[in-house]
C-alpha cells in the first residue's frame, strides 16, 4: 500500500467506513485510508495484516472485489482476542493495515478452463475475490462451479450474492449444510460430496479449495476420484502468521512460509505436508 | 426395459458392471415417480426396495421428540437411496421424503437378494458396491461429527 521499502512492519492507518454483520460470529469491515491516496490493488487470495491498536495484529484475507479500488474489504470471524476487539470497533475507528501479502489464487492459469471453487465456512471469504474476478472476465472461463458447505443454514456467508452469482453470472452454485435447522430446504451433508455432482472436465479444470484443513483433505480425495491432477488443485492454508513477509518463521510449513509462499499452494507442492500431523 | 437397462448401465453405482449383471437388476426394477412432499419410505416399515434416483431431491430424516423431523442428509440425481433391504430385519432406519418431484428406478429387494444368493459373483458385486455407499456415508458422518466449521474445528 504505502512505500513498504521504508519499513515493512509499519502499518498504514485506515478508518472503518462500514461494518456489516454477516452471521452470529462473522462480520465484514470496509476500510478506507485515513489520509492520502493509497494503492489498494491486490490479487484474489492475498491477505492483509490488520492491527487493532493496543490489542494485536492478525492476518485476514481480503474478501472484496479486486476491481474496486476505493476500499479494502475484510470478512472475519470472532475467534480470538484480536477479532473480539475488532468486532467492538465502530465506524470511524482506526485500524492499522500492512499488505497485501501472499501468493494469490491462479486466476490466470484457470483461463480457458473449468473452475471448481470449494469453500467451507469462513473459507468463502478468500474465494469471493476469485468469483468477483471471474465475473469481471466471465468470457475467459468455461464452467464455473461453487461448492460451499457450512455448519447450519444460519452460517451461510453472502447468501444474496451466491444467489446472484448463480442467476446472473452463470456460476453454478451448490450449497450444503452439515446440520439442517429451521425451514432449510437445501442440501444436507458434507461439502466434499458435492464434488461428484459438479459438471467439469477434469482434464481441463482448475480447482481451488479453502476451508478447514480436514475438509480440504477430503475435498482433494474427491477431486482425485474425479481425475483432476494434483497440479491443477490449489489450496489455501492457514498457519499462525506474524510478520507477513517470511522473516519471523511463525508460519513455517515444512520448507515453505505460509505468509510468503502461500497462503495459496499448488497441492502437489505440499501434498507430503498434508500427511504430516505436526509440521 | 431397454430404457431401464440404458439408464442403469450409465448410473455411477453400476459403472463397469458386466452387462449380464445389469440385466439381472433390470429384471427386478421398475420406473417410479413421487411428487414433492411424498414419503418414499417410513422409518420402521418394511424395506422391500431401494432406488436409483434419476431426477429430483430426497431428504432423509428422522423424527425426534420435541423437534420434529431432522434432516440428516439429502440425496440427488445419480445417487442411491436405501440399503436396509440388504440386511435383516429389512426395515427402513429413516424416513425418505421427496423434496421435489422425483423420478427413480425402484428395485425389488427380495427379488435381488434371491439373485444374489443364486449367483454369488453377482452377489459379491452388489455387496461390494453397497459397501462403498456405506463407507462413503460413514466417512461423511464422521466429518459432520467433527464439526469442522466450529470455532475449534
pLDDT in tens, B108-130: 999 999 999 999 999 999 999 99
Q: Is the dihedral of CA B6, B7, B12, B13 positive or negative?
A: negative
Whole-angstrom Cα distance, residue A128 to residue A115?
Answer: 13
Residue B97 lies in a domain: yes
Query: A12-101 domain in CATH 2.40.30.10?
Result: yes
**Candidates B59, B64, B143, partner chain A, best to mutate (most A CBs within 10 A):** B143
Distances in whole angstroms, Cα of residue A47 to Cα of each of A93, A192, A210, B88? 21, 25, 14, 55
Instruction: Give the nearest chain A residue to B12 (CA atoms).
Output: A196
Instruction: Quote the pLDDT of residue A1.
Output: 67
Question: Is the Cβ–Cβ distance between A237 and A267 less than 8 Å?
Answer: no
pLDDT band at A27 (very low <50, low <70, confident <90, very high): very high
Q: Which CATH number fits domain A114-236: 3.30.460.20, 3.40.190.10, 3.30.360.10, 3.40.50.80?
A: 3.40.50.80
Residue B151 lies in a domain: no
- Which residues partner with B29 through β-bridges? B107
Q: For residue A199, is pLDDT > 90?
A: yes
* Helices B19-26 + B2-10 axis angle, to 10: 130
Name which of A77, A120, A176 is nearest B148 (Cβ-Cβ).
A120
Distances in whole angstroms, Cα of residue B108 to Cα of each of A82, B43, B83? 59, 18, 12
Q: What average pLDDT does this structure show over A40-61?
A: 94
Share of chain B above pLDDT 90, in %: 78
Whole-angstrom Cα distance, residue A202 to residue A184?
Answer: 32
Residue B153 lies in a domain: no
Instruction: Quote the pLDDT of residue A272.
Output: 80
Residue-range definition of the domain harbouring residue B104: 2-145
Per-residue model confidence as pLDDT tens digits over B46-78: 999 999 999 999 999 998 887 888 899 999 999
- Contacting residues of B for A187, CB less than 8 Å apart: 57, 74, 76
Q: For residue A2, is pLDDT > 60?
A: no
Q: What average pLDDT does this structure show over A45-69?
A: 94
Domain boundaries, chain A: 12-101, 114-236
- Contacting residues of B for A120, CB less than 8 Å apart: 148-149
Per-residue model confidence as pLDDT tens digits over A134-177: 999 999 999 999 999 999 999 999 999 999 999 999 999 999 99
Q: What average pLDDT does this structure show over B7-33?
A: 93
Residue B83 lies in a domain: yes
Helical ranges in A67-171 per DSSP H = 81-87, 124-136, 159-169
Q: What average pLDDT does this structure show over A28-46?
A: 89
- Determine the straight-line distance between the first and last CA of chain B, rounded to whole angstroms: 49
Beta strands in B27-81 (DSSP E): 29-34, 39-41, 49-55, 58-64, 68-75, 80-81
- Determine the straight-line distance between the first and last CA of chain A, rounded to whole angstroms: 32
What's the complex ipTM? 0.86
CATH number of the domain to which B96 belongs: 2.60.120.10
Q: A1-15, A74-88, B40-54, B139-153: lowest mean pLDDT where?
A: A1-15
Question: What domain count does chain B have?
Answer: 1
Helical ranges in chain A per DSSP H = 81-87, 124-136, 159-169, 213-226, 267-274
Amino acid at each position: 500500500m504505502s512505500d513498504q521499502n521504508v519499513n515493512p512492519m509499519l502499518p498504514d492507518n485506515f478508518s472503518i467506513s462500514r461494518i456489516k454483520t454477516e452471521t452470529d460470529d462473522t462480520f465484514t469491515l470496509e476500510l478506507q485510508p485515513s489520509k492520502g491516496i493509497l494503492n489498494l490493488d491486490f490479487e484474489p487470495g492475498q491477505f492483509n495484516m490488520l492491527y487493532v491498536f493496543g490489542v494485536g495484529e492478525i492476518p485476514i484475507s481480503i474478501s472484496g472485489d479486486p476491481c474496486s479500488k476505493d476500499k479494502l474489504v475484510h470478512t472475519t470471524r470472532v475467534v480470538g482476542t484480536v477479532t473480539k476487539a475488532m468486532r467492538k470497533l465502530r465506524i470511524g475507528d482506526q485500524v492499522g493495515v500492512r499488505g497485501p501479502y501472499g501468493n494469490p489464487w491462479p486466476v490466470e492459469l484457470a483461463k480457458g478452463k473449468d473452475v471448481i471453487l470449494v469453500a467451507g465456512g469462513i473459507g468463502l471469504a478468500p474465494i469471493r475475490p476469485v468469483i468477483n474476478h471471474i465475473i469481471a472476465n466471465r468470457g475467459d472461463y468455461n464452467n464455473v462451479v461453487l461448492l460451499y458447505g457450512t455448519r447450519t443454514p444460519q452460517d451461510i456467508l453472502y447468501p444474496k450474492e451466491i444467489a446472484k452469482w448463480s442467476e446472473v453470472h452463470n456460476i453454478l452454485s451448490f450449497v450444503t449444510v452439515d446440520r439442517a435447522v429451521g425451514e432449510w430446504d437445501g442440501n444436507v451433508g458434507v461439502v466434499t460430496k458435492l464434488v461428484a455432482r459438479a459438471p467439469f472436465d477434469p482434464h481441463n479444470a482448475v480447482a481451488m479449495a479453502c476451508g478447514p484443513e480436514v475438509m480440504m483433505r477430503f475435498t482433494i480425495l474427491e477431486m482425485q476420484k474425479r481425475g483432476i491432477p494434483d497440479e491443477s488443485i490449489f489450496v489455501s492454508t492457514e498457519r499462525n502468521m506474524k510478520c507477513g513477509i517470511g522473516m519471523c518463521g511463525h508460519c513455517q510449513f515444512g520448507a515453505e512460509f505460509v505468509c510468503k509462499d502461500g497462503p495459496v499452494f499448488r497441492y502437489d507442492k505440499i501434498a507430503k505436508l498434508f500427511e504430516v500431523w505436526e509440521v | 426395459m431397454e430404457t431401464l437397462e440404458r439408464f442403469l448401465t450409465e448410473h455411477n453405482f453400476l459403472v463397469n458392471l458386466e452387462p449380464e449383471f445389469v440385466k439381472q437388476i433390470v429384471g427386478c426394477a421398475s420406473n417410479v415417480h413421487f411428487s414433492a412432499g411424498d414419503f418414499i419410505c417410513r422409518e420402521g416399515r418394511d424395506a422391500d426396495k431401494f432406488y436409483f434416483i434419476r431426477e429430483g431431491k430426497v431428504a432423509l430424516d428422522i423424527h425426534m421428540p420435541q423437534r420434529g423431523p431432522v434432516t440428516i442428509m439429502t440425496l440427488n440425481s445419480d445417487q442411491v437411496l436405501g440399503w436396509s433391504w440388504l440386511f435383516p430385519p429389512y426395515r427402513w432406519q429413516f424416513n425418505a421424503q421427496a423434496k421435489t418431484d422425483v423420478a427413480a428406478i425402484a428395485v425389488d429387494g427380495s427379488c435381488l437378494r434371491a439373485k444374489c444368493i443364486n449367483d454369488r459373483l453377482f452377489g459379491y458385486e452388489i455387496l461390494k458396491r453397497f459397501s462403498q455407499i456405506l463407507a462413503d456415508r460413514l466417512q461423511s458422518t464422521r466429518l459432520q461429527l467433527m464439526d469442522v466449521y466450529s470455532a475449534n474445528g
